[in-house]
Structure 1
Amino acid sequence: MTEVKPITIGSQGPLVFSPAKAGNPAVVGLSGFGVTTLMLALHNLGLASTGPVIWLAFVYGGYAQFSAGLQEQRAGNNFGYAAFTSYGAFWISLAAMLVANKYGVFPVTDRDVGSFMLVWTIWTGIMLIASARIHATMFTVFALLFGAFVLLDIEKFGGGEAFGLACTVTLLVLVSVVFYMLTSILLKDLTGRDILPVGRPLA
């Protein structure tokens, strides 16, 4: 009787399939947040109309960032899950509120917008505390975002345009730190080295 031997390929033995490497959803989340925030700052400085801000808020800062948050949930990252889905929802709800207000649907006042921002200021304060346990750059991002919200709150509750300008300047600094962190993640993935350090946890 002829012996039947198992078929193998080459000298490596049976094929072993490794799962494909998953992408890091933070790169999309940070990009969506940073680009949309930058466009808002440019609008505040009179360099862009409302249209680009609204569309980016719906699509990139909103939908794309929210989707990145859902991917963070699948990866077991509760902080990224909370941050990206929540700020994605922030951009979508802000854009929807502004569009509806333009057409007289559920009209809002500056004080209403101030209350909306105040709620997000409180929530950002919670995330600021948690971010101290990640790394220094993340803490800086949330500290700047918290400061921007506070300045915007003051402006909306009657503090004057100077606070709005200070908020816009803070947003520009915030965007630069967000893009720094984004670049750090991309370079580390491509090179395997920490070319742009993000610092140690603060707590």
Structure 2
Amino acid sequence: MSTASSFKFPNPAPLGLAGFALTTWLLSMINAGWFDGASLGLVLACAFAFGGTAQMIAGLMEVPRGNTFGFTAFMSYGAFWWSFALFVVFFHGKVPGTFVGWYLLLWGVFTFYMWLATFRSPRVLQLIFLALWITFFLLAAGDGLGMPAAGHLGGYMGLITAFLAFYLSAADVVNEAYGRTVLPIGAKT
């Protein structure tokens, strides 16, 4: 019979990172200009289901682990995906681009201070948050300042961000499955 003290909480980070990565990758392909707005419907479905809901579940799973950073990151970016999808479904075209730019800029500010909190974390996590705040600032310039080239560059930075998040998700799963480092994530500083 198992006792409560032998119960091990699973690591929710791979789930949250995968939801973030997949949804970010899809939207970033549109932002980079690879696909047009007609593809946005699938992004919205992922934003609600995987980028939003799965990340929020991962965030709640961080609570018993006592991980304030993981809780804050997954709950916040899960809420970002919900807010993005709700905006596109109900308010797109009704909000000035400059205000959308402020929305993206403020997410960039949040991401910047979350990046500062990663400095004692593995290198890959640091790189995810570095790439993400740059992505938000470029997207903000694209919408808020009417600089489409910055928005396209933000799409490419989003692809880099998504790749890094996919990598860390895979590393967490694969390394745990093998009980050793198969995919390195960089030493904590």
TM > 0.5 between the two? yes
Measured after TM superposition, the shift of residue 190 of structure 1 is: 0.6
Q: Distance in 1 between matches of 2:42 and 2:137?
A: 25
Matched, 1:131 2:118: yes
Q: Distance in 2 between matches of 1:51 and 1:92?
A: 14
Q: Distance in 2 between matches of 1:42 and 1:166?
A: 11
| Corresponding residue of 1:23 | 10
Q: Which amino acid aligns with 2:56?
A: F
| Corresponding residue of 2:46 | 56
SS in structure 2 of the partner of residue 74 of structure 1: coil
Matches within 5 A, 1:147-162: 147-162=134-149
| Corresponding residue of 2:99 | 112
Match of 1:78 among 44, 68, 72: 68
Matched, 1:65 2:55: yes
Q: Which amino acid aligns with 1:119?
A: L
Q: Which amino acid aligns with 2:87?
A: M
Q: Give structure 2 stretches of 5+ with no counterpart.
A: none
Give TM-score, length-normalised by structure 1: 0.85
2:30 touches 2:155 (CA, 8 Å); kept in 1? Answer: no
Q: Distance in 1 between matches of 2:137 and 2:77?
A: 16
Matches within 5 A, 1:32-51: 32-44=19-31, 45-46=34-35, 49-51=39-41
1:43 touches 1:53 (CA, 8 Å); kept in 2? Answer: no
SS in structure 1 of the partner of residue 91 of structure 2: helix
| Corresponding residue of 1:122 | 109
2:14 touches 2:168 (CA, 8 Å); kept in 1? Answer: no
| Corresponding residue of 2:90 | 100
Measured after TM superposition, the shift of residue 159 of structure 1 is: 4.5
Q: Distance in 1 between matches of 2:140 and 2:169?
A: 28
Q: Which amino acid aligns with 1:123?
A: F
- Flag the structure with larger Rg: 1
Measured after TM superposition, the shift of residue 27 of structure 1 is: 1.2
Match of 1:141 among 123, 128, 132: 128
Q: Distance in 2 between matches of 1:128 and 1:165?
A: 23
Q: Distance in 2 between matches of 1:150 and 1:117?
A: 7
Match of 1:199 among 175, 180, 186: 186
Measured after TM superposition, the shift of residue 173 of structure 1 is: 1.2
Give TM-score, length-normalised by structure 2: 0.91
Measured after TM superposition, the shift of residue 87 of structure 1 is: 0.3
Q: Distance in 2 between matches of 1:99 and 1:109?
A: 16
Q: Which amino acid aligns with 2:22?
A: V
Q: Distance in 2 between matches of 1:128 and 1:49?
A: 30
2:48 touches 2:85 (CA, 8 Å); kept in 1? Answer: yes
Measured after TM superposition, the shift of residue 195 of structure 1 is: 1.1
2:101 touches 2:145 (CA, 8 Å); kept in 1? Answer: no
| Corresponding residue of 1:7 | none
Measured after TM superposition, the shift of residue 73 of structure 1 is: 1.4
The share of aligned pairs that are identical, in percent, is 36
